[in-house]
Structure 1
C-alpha cells in the first residue's frame, strides 16, 4: 500500500477527498446515499438500492444480499457510544473455468477468497456518517501468478440542514485488480493493479414542488506496469484524472410523478501528453436529458430520461462520439417479498484501446431479489453490454447471468451459493471468451 504514496494522482485526489470531509461534518456518498426512514434500524441503511452503474461488475462474487434479510437476521453490531461497529468476514471458495478470459486453450482454477471488513456507522436525527474498510485476499490454487490483494476505504455522510436542504459527500480509495476480460486489460503474467481515488461533494434543495441538486466529483486512476515473459508492459499512458459536475432539477406534476431535467459536464485529463501510439487522449464532454421521475412509495421508484451526449477529444485524428443518450432505472416492488430492478443506459466510457477514441456503451440489465423465507434470499441477475469503439472495428457484446441463494442461520452466520456465466462476442476474435463460475460462501458477522 505504501507504493501508492509515491503516486501524484493519489496526493491530488486525497487532498480533494480530505477537503470534502473537512467541509462537512457528516457527508454522504451520493450515488448510494444511506437513507433510513424515521425509526429505522441504522444497520439496515441503504435498503434496496437502484443500480445505475453502466459498467458490468468487476467481481462476480460481490453481493449485498445479507443486508436485505429480515431484521432478526441482521447483525447486532458493537455499540460504541453513539457509533455502531459492524465487523464481518467472508470466506469464498470459487471455481472459474476460464481465469484468463481466452477463447482457446482455457485454464480453470479454484480460488480461495478471504474478505474481512468493518463498518462504523453513526445515525443522528439530522446527519448520518459511515466508514467502511475492506480487504480481499484472492489465492489461486494452481495459477499463483494471479494471486492478489485488493482493498477499499470508503467514508461518506449526509447532513440535513433542514427538511428542504441537505449536503452530502464521500471519499473512496480502492486498490483493485483489473478483470482479465475487460476491454482495456493487458494480458501480462499477472493481472493489472489499479489504484483509484474518488472524492465527491453535493447538495440538494427543495422549494415547494421543485427540487434542485448539484454534485461534483474528481476521480483519479493509476495503473501499475505488468510483467510479461519477454519484458514489461508500460501502463503509464492509462493514468488519468476525471472531473464531473452534474445537476438535476425536477418539478412534481402531481403526487408521485415529476418532470426531470438532468445535465452534466466532464473533463478527462491524462497524465501523459500522448499515449504509446502518439495520440492525445484528453477530452471534455457533456450530457443533457429530460424525462419522468416516479416515486410511488412502496411500489416503484426511478427515472426514465432521454437526451443527447457528446465527447470532444483534443486529438483531431480521433472520432468524437456523440448522439442519443438515455437512462432508465427503477426499483419495482410487486410484493413486499420481491424486488425487481430493471436498468437501461447509453453512455460514453473511457478506453485506451489502440486507435480508438472513446467507447459508447449501451447496457440493459435486470436484478430480481425474492425473500423465499425470512432467512432465505434468492437473487437473479441478467445483463447485456454492447460496446461500440469509435474509430475502430472492435465492437463487442458481453452477456452475463448469475443466480444466488443466501441462507442465514442466525444474525451471526450465513452461507450462500452462486452459479454465474459470462460470454463476450468481440469483432477482435482474440478478445472473445466464455466463463462459468460456481461459488460457495461462509459469512461471519457481529
Structure 2
C-alpha cells in the first residue's frame, strides 16, 4: 500500500476511534518514585514566565576523550571532543490541554581530527487535547538534521566525514478510558533522507538508496485487574517504503510487518514497577531475494526500588530494524540493559550501567555482538547548575563472512549543565 494513502487511512481510523478511546487515573503508576525522578526543589529552576507559557532554557557544555573515534580494530585514532548543546522548551501552563515547543543544537568539535566535527539540530512541537472525561487526543511533529555515528553498522567506513541525514516525523494518538478499560490507538510517520558522502581519496558514497518512509500504527486494549495491575493486548503494523526502486537499484527493499504482544503493567507495593510483554513479530519483504524476518518478540522495563535511595532498572527488547548493508533484508535487534542509580548524597547521584546487544542479520552471514558499561556521577552544584562525570566502555565482535569491524572503545569526560 502506498505510504500517503496508508497514513490517511490510519489517521481517519484514529479520529473515529477517538469516540471510544485515552488516559486516566485508574492506570496511574505513581506510587513509587525512582532516584532519577525524585524532585529536588532546592536545586530546580522555574524557568521564565511568559504568561500562559513557561520558557525552560538550558545549556550543556563539556569535554571528553575517546581512544577510538573511528571504531576500528587496528590503527585506532584518539581525540578530545568539546561539546556545546543549547536547548529550550516552551511549555503551556493551562489547566486543560497542553502545548509544547522544543528546539536544540548539539555541536561536537573534535580538537585534532576536525573532519569528524558534527552539529545536530532538532525542532519539534507536541499538543494534547483533553476532549472530556477519560478521552484525550495527542499530535505533534519533529524535524532533525543528524549525523550517523561511526559505530552504526549501516554507515560506510571509507568516507571523509560522518554521513548526514534528515529525519522528519509526525504522529497522532487517541486514548479512551472507561472504568477498568483503556483503549489507545496511535499512528506515526517517519521520513529518512540521507546525504551522500565523500570517499577518502576521491569519489562519492551514494546514500539515496537508504531514503525511506515508515508508517507505524499501534493499537492497545488494556484491562485493570486491580488499582495497581493491568493486563493488555497490543497489535502493531508497519509499512516501510523506499524511494528508489528497480531498475535504479538492484532490489525492491519495501516491506511491511506486524507485532502482537500480550503483557502486564504493574506498580506493586513500594518494591517494583514496570511493564513486561511477549509475543510474535513478522516482517515480509517485496523482493523474493530478501528473506523475511520473524520470531518471538519481547519488551520489558522493570524498576526495583531496593530502598528510597537505590533504584535498579532492567530493560529488554527484540525488534526488526532496517539495514543499509547490501544484500541484507534487515536484522533482529536484541537489547538488554541493567542500571543502578544510587543517591549517595542529596545532591549526588551515582549510576552504573551494563548493556548487551546482539544484531542477527538476515540475507547475509553476519552477527554483531556488543557489550558496554558506563559509570557516571551527577553533582548538583547549586540551583540550576549540575556537573556530570562519566566513563564509558564499548566492545563489538562481528562474526560471519560478511562481518563488520571488531572494536573496543573507551571514553571519559564531563559535562556541565546550566538551567534557568
TM-score scaled to structure 2, two decimals?
0.88
Q: 1:37 to 1:383 in 2, by over 3 A?
A: closer
Partner of 2:412: 438
Matches within 5 A, 1:280-359: 280-296=252-268, 299-359=271-331
Q: Which residue of 1 aligns with 2:71?
A: 101
Confirm or deny: 8 A CA contact 2:29 2:267 kept in the other structure.
no
Q: Partners of 1:276 and 1:426 in 2: how far apart?
A: 30
**Offset of residue 298 of structure 1:** 5.5
1:253 Cα deviation from its structure 2 partner: 1.9
The Cα shift of 1:36 comes to: 11
Select between 391-400 and 102-111 the one with higher mean Cα deviation: 391-400
> Are 1:367 and 2:339 an aligned pair?
yes
Unaligned runs of 5+ in 2: 16-21
Shift of 1:159: 2.6
Q: Is 1:162 the counterpart of 2:145 in the alignment?
A: no
- Residue 299 of structure 1 and its aligned partner are, at CA, apart by 4.2
Q: Write out aligned runs for 1:222-241 (5 A).
A: 222-228=193-199, 229-241=201-213
More strand by percentage: 2
What is the Cα deviation at residue 365 of structure 1? 0.7
Match of 1:121 among 77, 85, 91: 91
The answer to whether the 8 A contact 2:376-2:388 is kept is yes
Q: Secondary structure in 2 aligned to 1:158?
A: strand
Larger Rg: 2
Q: What is the CA distance between 1:337 and its match in structure 2?
A: 2.6
CA contact 2:141–2:169 (8 Å) conserved in 1:
yes
What residue is the counterpart of 1:200 in the other structure?
A: 171
Question: Following TM superposition, by how much is the alpha carbon of 1:111 offset from its aligned partner in structure 2, in angstroms?
Answer: 0.4
Matches for 1:408-419 after TM superposition, within 5 Å: 408-419=380-391
Equivalent pair of 1:237/1:275 in contact (CA under 8 Å): no
- What is the rounded CA distance, in whole Å, between the counterparts of 2:142 and 2:65 in structure 1? 30
Displacement, 1:292? 1.7
Assess if the C-alpha contact under 8 Å between 2:29 and 2:228 holds in 1: no
**Counterparts of 1:84 and 1:149 in 2: how far apart (Å)?**
27
Moved over 6 A (4+): 35-38
Q: Among residues 212, 217, 221, which one is paired with 1:249 in the alignment?
A: 221
- Quickly say closer, same or farther: Cα 1:114–1:362, change in 2 above 3 A: same
SS in 2 for 1:409: strand
3-state DSSP of counterpart to 1:237: helix
Counterparts of 1:178-193 in structure 2, within 5 Å, are: 178-187=148-157, 188-193=159-164
The answer as to whether partners of 1:419 and 1:439 remain within 8 angstroms in 2 is yes
Is 421-430 or 130-139 further displaced after alignment? 421-430
The change in CA–CA distance for 1:423 and 1:308 in structure 2 (over 3 A counts) is same
Structure 1 residue 219 displacement after superposition: 0.4
Secondary structure of 1:216's aligned partner = strand
Q: Distance in 2 between matches of 1:361 and 1:189?
A: 28
Match of 2:18 in 1: none
Instruction: Provide the rounded CA distance (Å) in 2 between the counterparts of 1:95 and 1:221.
Output: 31
Q: Give me the whole-angstrom Cα distance separating, in 2, the residues matched to 1:351 and 1:140.
A: 28
Q: Distance in 1 between matches of 2:61 and 2:247?
A: 40
- For 1:108 and 1:69, the matched residues in 2 are separated by 38
For 2:70 and 2:328, locate their aligned partners in 1 and report how far apart those are by CA, in whole Å: 23
2:352 aligns with 380
Alpha-carbon contact 1:332-1:340 (below 8 Å) kept: yes
* Aligned residues between the structures: 396
1: CA distance, partners of 2:70 / 2:91: 38
Measured at CA, do residues 154 and 275 of structure 1 come closer, stay the same or move farther in structure 2, by a change above 3 Å? farther
CA drift of 1:109 comes to: 0.3
Which of 215, 228, 235 matches 2:186?
Answer: 215
Distance change (3 Å), C-alpha of 1:368 and 1:155: farther
How far apart are the structure 2 equivalents of 1:36 and 1:80? 30
In the aligned structure 2, how far is the partner of 1:341 from the partner of 1:214? 27
3-state SS, counterpart of residue 42 of structure 2? helix
Name the counterpart of 2:104. 134
Aligned partners of 2:346 and 2:131: how far apart in 1? 37
Find the aligned partners of 2:90 and 2:75 in 1 and give their Cα distance: 46
Query: Would the aligned equivalents of 1:274 and 1:281 in 2 still touch at CA under 8 Å?
Result: no
